Structure 1
Amino acid sequence: MLGWKFWLNICSYDPARGEQTLDPNPQLGHSAVGHRPDIDGLRALAVLPIVLFHLGVPGFGGGYVGVDIFFVISGFLITQRLLSDSHLLRFYERRARRILPALMVVLAATTAAASVLLMPLDLAAYGRSMIATLVFASNFHFWSEVGYFDEPAALKPLLHTWSLGVEEQFYILFPLFLMFAIKARRSLVVVGMAATLSFIADAWFVTRSPALAFYWCPFRAWELMLGACLAMARLPAARSWEAAAGFLLIGIAVFGYSEATPFPGFAALLPCAGAALLLHAGGMQAASPLRWGAAVFIGRISFSLYLWHWPVIVFYRYLWGEPDAASIFLLAGLTVALSTLTYIFVEEPVRTRRRVSSIARFSVVAGALGVLVGAVTLGDCPVVSRRKSLPLKQRRWTWTLTCSIATTGLPRKPQPGNFASSER
């Protein structure tokens, strides 16, 4: 019944049921309570380029900037929440209800798949990354692996959780910082200065230690604080050109950037500025595509979509290599289906505090137990050698064959993987 109601809501979307946030008001800043479906649309504009980039769809070489758009949105929304309700325990409780249920379910499913599909070395690496994800430190974990027996990034099922680590670390520290800034009666100035320092450090490190600038929260914090400043500022009424400029800046980044682009640093200014412009001008006619039903639908499942898409792609690559065009459609459809089910039966009931269905309760509890068992089991998985990960059909065990066949011109000592002779 819940799923049927969800589809009815999507097909006949009512803006009054959209993302509850604080309406941009030209006289009151962003302090009037309201609902903004355009924020769901902006989430869709963030997550779709990420998925298409990871699927290897041509033309989306800069799709990874969708993460930066998410950062700006998150900073904007949590600051509005904190300004309207400064009770920290309630804030952290809302964050937990928003993030943990879906994360536990996806981690449990990913762990089950990893235990079946991954080879021992890769399974041990997965176990370590899962523990880091559980404590929201996967950004530090993946940063520490750079350049040290680094497994190919395309074959790490939890690599995408680095952004959750950045956000959660920001969520823990920023409310305390904001309270200090408010007491100093210069909240916008203090947060703006902190964002500026973070950006300067990011721009400096991106050419000297790119991995540090990419993964560490202090160098990404300016993106979230940009959204925070937007939420605190008393801005004049938005103009129509702002929405057009926002789409343009994001489009330049998505279609013009590539993996070779030094990032984040100055390059991150385009998608972040574009996101800020669209947040400010979300109610304008020029931003109406963000309020289309399809965009709102993708935006509402965007968190689950982000969680599911990468493990699905990684396991496919692990088994069969890079997907062809038909496989891309199949993977995209599977990801959307899993995300929709997770949103309907897990995310939405828990987030809205409705009477949680037995499916949701079972999914979350089973997910948490599965993750706990997986963490204990895989976190201490012995590793006997280090080998580069390859698609499963190309992988072979290293082994020694000893035989008594007389041969010439071959090593007399058994060699791994060689048909060599041996004296008895």
Structure 2
Amino acid sequence: MVAVTPYNMPRDPLMGANHLTAVRWILAAIVALGHVFLLTTGWEPIRIHQWTGGYMAVNGFFVLSGMLIAKSLDLRRDLKIYAASRALRIYPALIILLLAFVFIFSTMFSRPGGIENIMSGEIWSYVGRVLLLGDPQNAPGGIFAGNLEADFNGPLWTIRFEIAAYILAAVGFALGILKNRWLTVVTFVTVQVAYLGLPLVMDVGTLSAGVMPLMRLSAAFLLGMCLWQWPRARRPHWVLVIAAIAAFLWLGAGFGGELLATLALTGVMLRFGLSDVAHAPVVALPDYSYGIYIWHFPVMQAVMFLRPDTGPLGLALLSTPLWIGFSAASWHFIEKPALRLKPRARRTVAAPSIGTEDNRPMP
């Protein structure tokens, strides 16, 4: 077990040892498991009502991200360091993935393929588009041609929304909106109501393709930011968590089902991720989740390109050791060294702006 805070003071798991890395592993694995079926059958059977496991896992990622980003902004309060840290977390591994796309995937796993693809303007245009937060959802240069899903790396679509959330969160803190607990809640409710309500009053198909995903993921991100502002909400009683799960199982197919699913998932993540007792082997897990997220899909696609008749079980058995290996290499040789380059600054001596009562250590 990991020791609790000295002097017999109750600990706040978010401020010390916790299981959030393990939660991210689980979320990334759920996304990958859904794609095992999607790439072989065209259908994700892991779902409750209409909500697939992968869809909800993405929401879960954004809830956790919002909570941790709010913590970073509130404790450090240095936007230059914040920007550098976020860039170092996202871009080094993404750049390596895109170089693999150019020099390996486009030459060996495309039709007609070949070394000439390295000089293709279409290939490099895709690289630039992804790095500049454009739409990554296609397969330039005939990559993975003939596969059931014609996409190089579908999960990359969320990265531009993640970066947009980072930027908007920084702006909100700079303006003072997201430093205030009540304004944070009001912002979350406003975005959530807009996301739920717009389809009731207009044809959202007429909106730009990114509007509804941005609202969806911003609502999840803001929910996480609210959790930072309200520490006691990070410790929901199991009765509340079970009630949220029951409400989703009963009402999740109707209006507001996604919100119920996100609340239920958030409750489970908080109970496990911010457990009263931190188990050392779980705390010590290396953070492969980002690597899993960005590598599993192209690796699975490559297996399907070489063995198009592979079923879900076969794809899982053949691809999982590969994408776990790539994820491990990404963490140990790219992501972790890049994170060591983050600028360091002393935390502000001022208490976080989350109110005096809820700023006390958690019971």
TM surpasses 0.5: yes
**2:37 alignment partner, SS class:** coil
Alpha-carbon deviation of 1:212? 3.5
Stretch of structure 1 that moved more, 124-133 or 188-197: 124-133
TM-score when normalising by structure 1 = 0.61
Stretch of structure 1 that moved more, 173-182 or 154-163: 173-182
Instruction: Encode CA deviations 1:139-163: one digit per residue, 9 max, x unaligned.
Output: xx659xxxxxxx9982211321111
Is residue 329 of structure 2 the alignment partner of residue 332 of structure 1? no
Counterpart pick for 2:239 among 230, 233, 241: 241
Is residue 276 of structure 2 the alignment partner of residue 276 of structure 1? no
For 1:70, the equivalent position in structure 2 comes to 61
Counterpart Cα distance in 1 of 2:279 and 2:33: 21
Counterpart Cα distance in 2 of 1:42 and 1:326: 26
Counterpart Cα distance in 2 of 1:252 and 1:213: 29
Counterpart Cα distance in 1 of 2:58 and 2:225: 16
Counterpart pick for 1:35 among 16, 23, 27: 16
Tell me if the contact between 2:28 and 2:292 (Cα under 8 Å) persists in the aligned partners: yes
Counterpart pick for 1:348 among 321, 331, 336: 336
Alpha-carbon deviation of 1:114? 3.2
For 2:300, the equivalent position in structure 1 comes to 313
Unaligned runs of 5+ in 1: 1-12, 17-22, 26-31, 144-150, 355-424
Change (3 A) 1:15 1:108: farther
Counterpart Cα distance in 1 of 2:279 and 2:73: 25
Is residue 149 of structure 2 the alignment partner of residue 154 of structure 1? yes
Counterpart Cα distance in 2 of 1:165 and 1:56: 25
Change (3 A) 1:41 1:73: same
Change (3 A) 1:343 1:41: same
One-letter identity of the residue aligned with 1:316? V
Alpha-carbon deviation of 1:56? 0.7
Tell me if the contact between 2:2 and 2:17 (Cα under 8 Å) persists in the aligned partners: no
Counterpart Cα distance in 1 of 2:220 and 2:91: 23
Counterpart Cα distance in 1 of 2:316 and 2:225: 36
Stretch of structure 1 that moved more, 88-97 or 340-349: 340-349
1:375-414 to structure 2, matched below 5 A, reads none
For 1:421, the equivalent position in structure 2 comes to none
Instruction: Supply the RMSD in Å over aligned alpha carbons.
Output: 4.0
Counterpart Cα distance in 1 of 2:161 and 2:317: 30
Change (3 A) 1:277 1:327: closer
Counterpart Cα distance in 1 of 2:66 and 2:227: 9
One-letter identity of the residue aligned with 1:327? L
Tell me if the contact between 1:213 and 1:219 (Cα under 8 Å) persists in the aligned partners: no
Counterpart Cα distance in 1 of 2:320 and 2:84: 32
For 1:173, the equivalent position in structure 2 comes to 168
Counterpart Cα distance in 1 of 2:123 and 2:199: 27
Identity of aligned residues (%): 18
Is residue 199 of structure 2 the alignment partner of residue 194 of structure 1? no
Tell me if the contact between 2:27 and 2:61 (Cα under 8 Å) persists in the aligned partners: yes
Q: Which has the higher contact order (CA 8 A, sep 6+)?
A: 2
For 1:413, the equivalent position in structure 2 comes to none
Counterpart pick for 2:196 among 179, 183, 203: 203
**1:300 alignment partner, SS class:** coil
For 1:401, the equivalent position in structure 2 comes to none
One-letter identity of the residue aligned with 1:188? R
For 2:41, the equivalent position in structure 1 comes to none
Stretch of structure 1 that moved more, 44-53 or 324-333: 324-333
Alpha-carbon deviation of 1:165? 0.5
**2:24 alignment partner, SS class:** helix
Unaligned runs of 5+ in 2: 5-9, 39-43, 139-145, 343-363
Tell me if the contact between 1:157 and 1:311 (Cα under 8 Å) persists in the aligned partners: yes
TM-score when normalising by structure 2 = 0.71
For 2:354, the equivalent position in structure 1 comes to none
Counterpart Cα distance in 1 of 2:156 and 2:99: 14
Alpha-carbon deviation of 1:173? 1.9
Tell me if the contact between 1:155 and 1:318 (Cα under 8 Å) persists in the aligned partners: no
1:73-88 to structure 2, matched below 5 A, reads 73-88=64-79
Instruction: Encode CA deviations 1:212-258: one digit per residue, 9 max, x unaligned.
Output: 47764234211100000110124265424356567x479969xx99x
Counterpart Cα distance in 2 of 1:292 and 1:33: 15
Counterpart Cα distance in 1 of 2:61 and 2:72: 16
